[in-house]
Structure 1
Amino acid sequence: MQAAPADPAAPADPAVLAVIPARGGSKGVPAKNLAAIGGVPLVARAVRACRASRLVTDVVVSTDDPGIAATARGAGAVVVQRPAALAGDTATSEAAVLHAMDAYEALHGTGVGTVLLVQCTSPFLTSGDVDGVAAAVVEGGADSALTVAPFHGFVWREDGGAAAPAPASPSGPPPSGGRGVNHDKAHRPRRQDRPQDLLETGAAYAMRADGFRAARHRFFGRTELVRSEAARVLEVDDPHDLARARALAPLLDGPDPAARPTRADVDAVVMDFDGTQTDDRVLIDADGRELVAVHRGDGLGIAALRRAGLALLILSTEANAVVAARGRKLRVPVLHGVDRKDRALKQWCEEQGIAPDRVLYVGNDVNDLSCLGLVGWPVAVADAHDTVRGAARSVTAARGGSGALREIATWLLGPGLDMP
Structure 2
Amino acid sequence: MPNSPTYPADLLARAAKIRLACFDVDGTLTDGRLYFDSEGRELKAFHVLDGQGLVLLRKTGITVAFVTARNSVVAEKRAAELGVEAHIGVKDKQVRVDEIRARLGLSAEQVCFMGDDLPDRVPMQTAGLAVAPANAHASVLAHAHWRTSARGGEGAARELCDLLLLAQGHDATEVA
Instruction: Pick 1 or 2: higher relative contact order, CA cutoff 8 A, min separation 6.
Output: 2
Q: Distance in 2 between matches of 1:371 and 1:282?
A: 23
User: 2:12 aligns to what?
Assistant: 261
> What code does the residue aligned with 2:11 have?
R
User: 2:74 aligns to what?
Assistant: 322
Match of 2:150 among 372, 394, 398: 398
Q: Distance in 1 between matches of 2:53 and 2:11?
A: 16
User: 1:276 aligns to what?
Assistant: 28
Deviation, 1:346, is 0.9
Q: Distance in 2 between matches of 1:417 and 1:406?
A: 11
User: 1:304 aligns to what?
Assistant: 56
Q: Distance in 2 between matches of 1:291 and 1:411?
A: 29
Task: Provide Cα deviations, 1:125-177, integer angstroms capped at 9, x if missing partner.
Answer: xxxxxxxxxxxxxxxxxxxxxxxxxxxxxxxxxxxxxxxxxxxxxxxxxxxxx
Residue 401 of structure 1 aligns to a residue whose secondary structure is coil
Deviation, 1:387, is 1.6
Task: Provide Cα deviations, 1:36-55, integer angstroms capped at 9, x if missing partner.
Answer: xxxxxxxxxxxxxxxxxxxx
Do the aligned residues in 1 keep the contact of 2:131 with 2:144 (CA within 8 Å)? Answer: yes
Q: Distance in 1 between matches of 2:141 and 2:36?
A: 29
1:287 aligns with 2:39: yes
Match of 1:417 among 161, 166, 172: 172
Residue 260 of structure 1 aligns to a residue whose secondary structure is helix
> What code does the residue aligned with 1:333 have?
E
Q: Distance in 2 between matches of 1:358 and 1:338?
A: 21
Task: Provide Cα deviations, 1:307-353, integer angstroms capped at 9, x if missing partner.
Answer: 11111111000111011111111100111111111111111111111
Deviation, 1:390, is 1.0
**Higher relative strand content:** 1
Deviation, 1:261, is 3.2
Residue 54 of structure 2 aligns to a residue whose secondary structure is helix
Do the aligned residues in 2 keep the contact of 1:261 with 1:377 (CA within 8 Å)? Answer: no
RMSD over aligned CA atoms reads 1.6
Q: Distance in 1 between matches of 2:50 and 2:69?
A: 20
Q: How does the TM-score come out when normalised to structure 1?
A: 0.38
Paired residue total? 164
1:385 aligns with 2:137: yes
**Runs in 1 of length 4+ with deviation above 3 angstroms?**
none
Q: Distance in 2 between matches of 1:364 and 1:387?
A: 9
Bigger Cα Rg: 1
Residue 371 of structure 1 aligns to a residue whose secondary structure is helix
Q: Distance in 1 between matches of 2:151 and 2:100?
A: 27
Deviation, 1:416, is 4.6
Q: How does the TM-score come out when normalised to structure 2?
A: 0.88
Q: Distance in 2 between matches of 1:319 and 1:289?
A: 12
Matches within 5 A, 1:18-33: none
Q: Distance in 1 between matches of 2:41 and 2:12?
A: 38
Q: Distance in 1 between matches of 2:134 and 2:16?
A: 24
Residue 373 of structure 1 aligns to a residue whose secondary structure is helix
Unpaired segments of 5 or more residues in structure 2? 1-6
Deviation, 1:282, is 1.5
Do the aligned residues in 1 keep the contact of 2:133 with 2:147 (CA within 8 Å)? Answer: yes
Residue 322 of structure 1 aligns to a residue whose secondary structure is helix
User: 1:360 aligns to what?
Assistant: 112
Q: Distance in 2 between matches of 1:404 and 1:300?
A: 12
> What code does the residue aligned with 1:293 have?
A
